[in-house]
Every structure is written in structure tokens, then in C-alpha cells.
Structure 1
Amino acid sequence: MPTTPDAPATTAPARPVPRRHRGTDVALVASFAAFVAACALVPPIPTASGVPITLQTFGVLLAGLVLGPWRGFLAVTLYLVVGLAGVPVFAEMTGGLGVLGKPSVGYLLAFPLGAALAGVLGGLALRLPARRPPAGPGAPVARRLVVRSTPAVRFVALVGAGLAASFLTIHPAGVAGLMWRLVVDLPAAVAIDVVYWPGDVVKNVLAAIVTLAVLRAFPDLRDRA
């Protein structure tokens, strides 16, 4: 009995993979490095420890939340390299290797790590599931516990991501720097660091607001990170 040749299998058309535009990445990294520098040059609020309150942390965490971990890390690292090379882009219009001898050294050197961690945690916050799955009595527990991603939930999650990044990287390193340069013990250094906590909360709230606004206007900006 004659057989007919098998019909060619039909395959779904391949989904186009967005190309990474290296020039765009370089421009974004440079732009956010300049933005962090601009934040540092806003007139600071002096403190008794010699480490002023500035908008630097706002710029650092915003770079991570908007650009993602790698580009955020590179943007803040570029900012540090330019400042350490002598360009006065640090707080109080300072620059050069002399800043490594100041009490703020720990905060400064931890900025790239803070941006990177904010990028990782911010990505998790932005990828919360968009819909709540069926949660009937027979649904698995894991599905019943899924949180619906509303704008309010994403905002709170982004604020938490920024705060976690700050308190897991920038503040511990800052405390270590205070202990080293001011020759104080751990409780005294933590007491100094507490002064910066309220400002960090405000800056993270602002960073979350700006991140959502930027990604709403440019929804594919972070996807390439």
C-alpha cells in the first residue's frame, strides 16, 4: 500500500530576540554617572561626624533600580573612578584619593555594590506576578499565596528593595569606615550612622517613584539590563 510522505512539521515562528545596543548602554551608564555626581553636588547638610547628608544615595540606588544590576554597578563605578581621579564630583565638591582618608570612605566605596544589589532586588520587585491565580479550596498553597502585582505593591516592593540594598551594603561599610577613620567602637559608629536612616527612607521612596515613572515611559529600558 503506497505511503504518503510525512507532512513537514509546523513550528511556531521564532520570537525575535531584542538586540543589545552597546552604544545605548554606554550612554545610559555615562548619564547616570553624571546624575550621581549632580546629586552629590547639591548643597549637603553637615553633621557632627564630618559625613554630610547628601543626595548621593538617591542617585546610586536609582541607577540600580532603573538600569539593573550590571549597568547600575558600572554607572556608579564610573562615578567613583572619575572622582578618585581628581574631578570634584564628591560631596562638598571634593575629589582625588584624599577622600579615602575621610570618615565617609566606607559609604563611598560601597556605592557600586549598593547599586548592584538594588538592581537585583528591584528586578524581583518588578517581576511580581501580574494576576492572582485561582485560589479555590483545592488550589495549591503556593498558588493561594501569590501576591497580585498592582502599582501600589510594586511601589512598596521597590522601596523595600532600595532600603534592603542600602542597609545590607552601604550602611555596614559606612559603619566600618567610621570606626576606621574616627577610631571609635562599633556602638559609637552605629549611633553616628543612625542619623542617616530617616533621610535614606525618604530617598528610597523618591527613588521608587522616579523608577516607576521612568519605566512607565520607557518600558523596555530595564529589560536590556
Structure 2
Amino acid sequence: MEKDLARIALFAALIAILGLIPAITLGFGVPITAQSLGVMLAGAVLGARQGGLAVLLFVFAAVLGLPLLAGGRGGLGVFASPTVGFVVGFPVAAFVTGLVVEKLHRLPPGVSAGIGAFIGGIIVMYAFGTIGMAIVLNKSLTEAALLNSAFVIGDLLKAGLCGMLVAAIARLRPQMLPWYRAPVSQVFR
């Protein structure tokens, strides 16, 4: 239990640290950040339950006012910004990413993590982000989805990087992936 709590806190901290990488804010108020990579990794490494809890902890701390979101943002004002859908969708995206890697555990870990990051970290996160942007910016869902298309290439790269990092973890420290069933030859080396 203590190990699980430590891993959840560690990934919440990782997402906060990724927010320190300078963000590029687009004209419609949504920044390009590395934090979505942290969300993908939380789900892909920890699995659905722990990954979702790690990201929920991060979001909870940010909503309480800690300046953890990209650009040093935090507090209830986040709910009035164009990023609200992404912030609300972060825990769901991590949960879905973890759920996919758990269901695809028979595939190579990098492949299952890449697929999970694509489904949870892009499709699910964009669904939430698009709805939030449409509401806050008073745009149609189609207009908000078009605005979100600015993020697609970067997020595809992040999903690929997530897959590569998880593949490396599976090779070097398979016990760090609770959902992964490493081949017997790899466990006893």
C-alpha cells in the first residue's frame, strides 16, 4: 500500500515537473505543454486505477491553488479558462490509457502503451478539451475541434515517446509495470 501511494505521488509530481517546461500558448488560450505526456505515462506505467488516482491528485492540488499547471497556473480560475476540458479530462485520460494497456498486456509493452496513450491521451483528452473549449470560447464543437487540431502532431509524438519509455522500463525494470507480465526469461536474469 505504501509503495502504491508513493508511486501515485511520484507521478503527480512528474506531471507538475513537466509543467515547468516552457509552454507555448496558442492564440486561443490553450498552451502546448509536456504535461499531457505525464498523463499518458501515469496511465501507461501505473495502470488504470493508480494512473487515474495520480492524475486526480495532481488536478486536485492544482485546483486548490498550487501553481502546477503549465505557466504556473492553478486555482478555481482554471475552470473559466479554455483549458478546463483538458484539466477535467486528465484523470479520465490516464484511467483510459491504463485500462487499454491492461487489456492489451499480451502485446509488447511499448506497443500497448503507445496504443493506450493514443486512445486515452489523445482521443479521450481531445473529447474533453474540445467540449471545454467550445463552452468557454463560445464556439461550436466543430470549431473547437479544428482549434484542437493544432495539437495533433505534438501529441502523436508524445504517444510514441510514451510507448518507447514504457518499452525501456519493461526491458530494464519490468516489476515497475504492475499490469505487465514479463516473460519468465526476463524476470530471472
Deviation at 1:118, TM superposition (A): 0.5
- Unmatched 5+ residue regions in structure 2? 181-189
The 1:167–1:206 alpha-carbon spacing in structure 2 relative to 1, beyond 3 Å, is closer
Q: For the residues of structure 2 that align with 1:106 and 1:164, how far apart are their CA atoms?
A: 16
Contact 2:23 2:32 in 1 (8 A): yes
One-letter amino acid matched to 1:98: G
Q: Are 2:8 and 1:35 aligned?
A: no
Q: For the residues of structure 2 that align with 1:59 and 1:99, how far apart are their CA atoms?
A: 19
SS at match of 1:126: coil
SS at match of 1:118: helix
One-letter amino acid matched to 1:83: A
One-letter amino acid matched to 2:27: A
Q: 2:56 aligned to 60, 77, 81, which one?
A: 77
Q: Are 2:130 and 1:175 aligned?
A: yes
Q: Are 2:115 and 1:160 aligned?
A: yes
Q: 2:168 aligned to 210, 213, 216, which one?
A: 213
Q: Which residue of 2 aligns with 1:111?
A: 90
Contact 1:66 1:222 in 2 (8 A): yes
Q: For the residues of structure 1 that align with 2:120 and 2:34, how far apart are their CA atoms?
A: 16
- Unmatched 5+ residue regions in structure 1? 1-21, 129-148
Q: 1:46 aligned to 20, 25, 37, which one?
A: 25
Contact 1:66 1:215 in 2 (8 A): no
Task: Report the aligned-residue RMSD.
Answer: 1.5
Q: Which residue of 2 aligns with 1:62?
A: 41
Report the structure, 1 or 2, having the larger helix content: 2
Deviation at 1:224, TM superposition (A): 6.7
Deviation at 1:155, TM superposition (A): 3.0
Identity %: 33
Contact 2:110 2:166 in 1 (8 A): no
Q: 1:184 aligned to 129, 139, 145, which one?
A: 139
Deviation at 1:120, TM superposition (A): 1.1
Q: State TM-score, norm by structure 2.
A: 0.90
Contact 1:175 1:193 in 2 (8 A): yes
Q: For the residues of structure 2 that align with 1:199 and 1:51, how far apart are their CA atoms?
A: 14
Q: For the residues of structure 1 that align with 2:16 and 2:151, how far apart are their CA atoms?
A: 19
Deviation at 1:40, TM superposition (A): 1.5
SS at match of 1:214: helix
